[in-house]
A and B are shown apart, each in its own frame.
Chain A
Amino acid sequence: NAGVMQNPRHLVRRRGQEARLRCSPMKGHSHVYWYRQLPEEGLKFMVYLQKENIIDESGMPKERFSAEFPKEGPSILRIQQVVRGDSAAYFCASSPRAYNEQFFGPGTRLTVL
């Protein structure tokens, strides 16, 4: 059973471009979480999704950010019109159910020039 996969591992974008981050959860996991981590800081919750549903997006900025977890395929975190402040490591995690261990992916390190 492969672990949580994220791609790309590193992403460089210029200001104003779009960034698409992908997360494939572990097999059998229907809960996906996205976190943002700035250098030497903690993990900030962004959004919690189950298949085809956004359960909680209270940690996600209202503008430019969106997330989805379609019936087929990976979960996508999309950042439109990126700014330098979006530079961070974005981790996704999956779990088979609530109140359960979250398994983290290797992260995507986004750099905005």
Chain B
Amino acid sequence: GENVEQHPSTLSVQEGDSAVIKCTYSDSASNYFPWYKQELGKRPQLIIDIRSNVGEKKDQRIAVTLNKTAKHFSLHITETQPEDSAVYFCAASSETSYDKVIFGPGTSLSVIP
């Protein structure tokens, strides 16, 4: 089945700097890749997603890139703010896995004011 790895597990950046989180997946049939943000004690919420027919997607300060050949995708957050501090999960989904979404282990991002 699908396996999603995520690095780093923790990330600390200064306010205003950029943050990059990288994920790899194992199932070459995966074609949907969402990213979720989970603040302490809260529910996960989708922040951006990308499908396999595009290589990059951007939404204001957040961008995601996908390399299907290498089976990896990344989240980029620019001009980080303290409210970006949270745990970020990448995920992957494919038809061969009955559309279920498999999550990476998460990255705890701390933005230092």
Contact = CB atoms under 8 A, between A and B. Distances in A.
Contact of B89 (A43, A59, A93): A43
Chain A contact residues, majority secondary structure: strand
Interface residues of A, number: 24
A42 B106 contact: yes
B43 A45 contact: no
A41 B105 contact: yes
A35 B91 CA distance: 13
A104 interface: yes
B49 A33 contact: no
Contacts of B32: 99
Interface of A: 31, 33, 35, 41-45, 48, 55-56, 58-59, 91, 93, 98-99, 101-107
A56 B34 contact: no
Given A101-B34, A104-B43, A106-B43, A42 B98 contact: no
Contact of A42 (B43, B45, B100, B104): B104
A73 to B, nearest CB: 22
